[in-house]
């Protein structure tokens, strides 16, 4: 949490001014009981109306000045807290965006969403309250004790005993509750994860009639979170009654002893009222301080969780090279192995392949054979475990990541579209693209008729995750988005699985017309989608078992021959 305080630099003036103004307000507040005591001992005792009015005027001035200080302090505290957390949120989002797929896989989307929302909101509340109360409450408590000694040192001994006892209780509760709040946030992560999974997979859940099971599992996680919150809530709730009991006992002792001393003339009635007011101020401030400590405890736990994400270093060191010779081989794998867990079983093993610039190649193999893994390594979404990858003659680790990905167009297995117009979605890959460029890409992707049939055409609004489009429409728009960029390397990762054979064939024919400067890498479960490729790579359990043209492989590669026969019939045409 301490490391996050660097984001306060921009707001240092407000961060210092807010508590300073609160301290100034406290100074005025501590004078009030003395003025009241003076009104009782002088004005009321001597029936001096003018003196009473004069003192009341002083009270009004103190109130107005104190209110002004409070309002400005509240404004500064709010600006600091909001700006501080906005900067952290922006920096955290940027850091998350720089993490490799491996780190993101390990963290999980639900955890990161909780860090960016719930945890940061808790930190914002904690910072706001800290700036307003962290100096004010202790200053009132100790200031009231000092003022009590000024009024009467004997009576003030009650304050000297009460305040340490209260401090012990407050810090004991804080030490117990901090680790519990961490557990609460971890339980909240699990609830968010389960909620996200259920919302995203609602169709699957309903298709298999698993609603009751999912509801039961969610209720279990929710009950656990509820139990954790109740447990820590009970401990935190001890603060208020404990402090109130001790303060009220102290007030009773103070009034009792004060009354006895007033009767024998050792203490004035005004002094007793002043001491009572100071004890009441301490009571109010300790209640505020107890709530502050609860919120700060939550904030520290949340801040530590946020900091833990910042401490995850990006595994991908950005290279320096920002140019390439596009006439050299587009992609070359040299004894490349990769494991998703780093030390687990390899997803691909000693893969060697060489793809010439402008070549149209296909990758095929059974499910889980490592096809998608290979194409995820080309834009360096993951770092290889061993071996070497060269892109246009340069080691991939030496290339600037932005430059590397600027000439690669990718269509992933899952079609992902964002809420907004079709034009906005197309310009994600090429912000400078014109409408003419977009229509050209749509036509090649067999999506122009889809867009022309929508109201507003390019201005048609796609809903979140493309819910108002069919699976085939989403895939074609994703292909068009990749083509708008006019990439040097185009990767199609099983991106036509939702297309019928006629549309798929038309798409392949259109892609064959792409300039020979564009290298097309197609992953598909359909042999028909890659049979006309310049070269076909066959993978099996992470190992490259064969490479060649369709005519060669159907006679020399048993696995490829089986795939063709399964899809085309015994003749394997």
Q: What is the DSSP string of 286-345?
A: HHHHHHHHHHHHHHHHHHHHHHHHHTS--SS----B----TTS-SEEEEEEEE-TTSSS-
Rg (C-alpha) for the chain, rounded Å, is 35
CATH class of 2-310: mainly alpha
Q: Give pLDDT, residue 571.
A: 46
Instruction: Give the span between the Cα atoms of 404 and 180, in whole angstroms.
Output: 45
- Render the burial of 431-443: b for 16+ CB within 10 Å, e for the rest: eebeeebbbbbbe
Checking 470-476 for CB contacts under 8 A at 24+ apart, the result is 470/498, 471/415, 471/498, 472/498, 472/499, 472/500, 472/503, 473/447, 474/415, 474/417, 474/498, 475/411, 475/415, 475/499, 476/445, 476/446, 476/447, 476/450, 476/503, 476/507
CATH class of 318-407+530-573: alpha beta
pTM across the whole model: 0.69
Are 255 and 271 contacting, i.e. CB atoms less than 8 angstroms apart? no
3 state SS of 243 = helix
Per-residue tokens: 314: 């990006």
Distance between the two ends of the chain, CA-based, in angstroms?
A: 65
Instruction: Give the span between the Cα atoms of 274 and 38, in whole angstroms.
Output: 9
Are 88 and 7 contacting, i.e. CB atoms less than 8 angstroms apart? yes
Q: Give pLDDT, residue 572.
A: 46
Q: What backbone torsions phi and psi does residue 558 show, to the nearest 5 degrees?
A: -60, -40
pLDDT in tens, the chain (573 residues): 677 888 888 899 998 999 899 888 888 888 888 888 888 888 888 888 888 899 999 999 999 998 999 999 999 999 999 999 999 999 999 888 888 777 787 777 777 888 888 889 989 998 998 888 888 888 888 888 888 888 888 877 888 888 788 878 877 877 787 778 778 877 887 888 888 788 878 888 888 888 888 899 999 999 999 988 888 888 878 877 887 888 888 888 888 888 888 888 788 888 888 888 888 888 778 777 777 877 887 788 888 888 888 888 766 677 788 888 888 888 999 999 988 876 668 888 888 999 888 888 899 888 888 888 888 899 888 888 888 999 988 899 888 888 888 889 888 888 888 888 989 988 888 888 888 889 988 888 888 888 888 888 888 998 887 888 888 888 888 889 998 988 889 998 887 777 777 887 888 888 777 767 788 998 887 788 888 888 899 888 888 888 888 888 888 888 888 888 887 765 444
Instruction: Give the span between the Cα atoms of 21 and 318, in whole angstroms.
Output: 47
Q: Residue 220: how many CB atoms within 10 A of its CB? A: 12
Domain ranges of the chain: 2-310, 318-407+530-573
Per-residue tokens: 554: 């159907």
Are 411 and 492 contacting, i.e. CB atoms less than 8 angstroms apart? yes
The bridge status of strand 519-523 relative to strand 489-493 is: parallel
Q: Give pLDDT, residue 86.
A: 92
Per the listing, tokens 């149209």 go with 360
Instruction: Give the span between the Cα atoms of 573 and 570, in whole angstroms.
Output: 8
Q: Give pLDDT, residue 569.
A: 64
Contacts for 317 with CB less than 8 Å, ≥ 6 apart: 397
Query: Most distant CA pair in the chain: distance in Å?
Result: 120
């Amino acid at each position: 949490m301490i490391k996050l305080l660097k984001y306060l630099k921009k707001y240092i003036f407000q961060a210092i001014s807010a508590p300073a103004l609160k301290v100034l307000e406290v100074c005025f507040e501590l004078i009030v009981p003395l003025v009241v005591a003076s009104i009782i001992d002088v004005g009321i005792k001597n029936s001096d109306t003018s003196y009473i009015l004069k003192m009341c005027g002083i009270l009004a001035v103190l109130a107005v000045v104190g209110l002004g200080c409070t309002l400005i302090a509240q404004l500064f505290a709010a600006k600091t807290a909001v700006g501080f957390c906005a900067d952290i949120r922006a920096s955290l989002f940027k850091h998350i965006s720089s993490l490799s797929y491996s780190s993101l896989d390990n963290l999980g989307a639900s955890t990161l969403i909780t860090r960016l929302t719930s945890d940061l909101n808790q930190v914002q509340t904690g910072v706001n309250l800290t700036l307003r109360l962290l100096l004010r409450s202790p200053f009132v408590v100790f200031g009231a004790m000092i003022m009590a000694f000024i009024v009467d040192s004997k009576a003030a001994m009650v304050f000297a005993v009460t305040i340490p006892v209260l401090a012990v209780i407050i810090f004991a509760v804080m030490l117990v509750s901090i680790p519990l709040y961490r557990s609460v946030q971890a339980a909240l992560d699990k609830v968010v994860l389960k909620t996200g999974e259920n919302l995203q997979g609602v169709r699957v859940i309903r298709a298999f009639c698993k609603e009751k099971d999912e509801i039961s599992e969610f209720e279990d996680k929710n009950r656990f979170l509820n139990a954790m919150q109740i447990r820590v809530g009970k401990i935190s709730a001890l603060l208020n009654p404990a402090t109130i009991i001790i303060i009220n006992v102290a007030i009773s002792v103070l009034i009792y002893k004060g009354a006895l001393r007033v009767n024998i003339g050792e203490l004035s009635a005004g002094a007793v009222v002043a001491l009572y007011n100071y004890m009441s101020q301490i009571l109010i401030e300790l209640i505020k301080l107890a709530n502050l400590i609860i919120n700060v405890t939550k904030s520290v736990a949340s801040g530590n969780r946020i900091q833990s994400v910042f401490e995850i270093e990006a595994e991908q060191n950005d290279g320096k090279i920002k140019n390439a010779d596009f006439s050299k081989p587009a992609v070359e794998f040299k004894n490349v192995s990769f494991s998703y867990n780093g030390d687990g079983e390899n997803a691909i093993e000693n893969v060697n392949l060489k793809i010439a610039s402008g070549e149209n190649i296909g990758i095929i193999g059974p499910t889980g054979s490592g096809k998608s893994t290979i194409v995820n390594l080309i834009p360096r979404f993951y770092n290889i475990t061993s071996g070497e990858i060269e892109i246009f003659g340069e080691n991939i680790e030496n290339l600037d990541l932005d430059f590397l990905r600027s000439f690669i167009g990718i269509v992933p297995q899952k079609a992902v579209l964002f809420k907004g117009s079709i034009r906005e979605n197309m310009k994600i890959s090429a912000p400078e693209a014109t409408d003419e460029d977009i229509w050209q890409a749509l036509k090649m992707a067999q999506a122009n008729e889809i867009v022309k049939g929508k109201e507003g055409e390019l201005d048609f609004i796609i809903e979140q995750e493309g819910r108002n489009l069919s699976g085939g429409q989403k895939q074609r728009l994703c292909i068009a988005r990749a083509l708008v960029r006019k990439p040097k390397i185009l990767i199609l990762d099983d991106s036509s699985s939702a297309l019928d054979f006629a549309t798929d064939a038309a798409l392949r024919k259109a892609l064959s017309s792409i300039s020979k400067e564009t290298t097309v890498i197609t992953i598909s479960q359909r042999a028909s989608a890659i049979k006309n490729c310049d070269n076909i790579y066959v993978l099996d359990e992470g190992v490259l078992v064969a490479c060649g043209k369709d005519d060669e492989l159907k006679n020399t590669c048993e696995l490829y021959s089986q795939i063709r026969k399964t899809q085309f019939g015994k003749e394997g045409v």
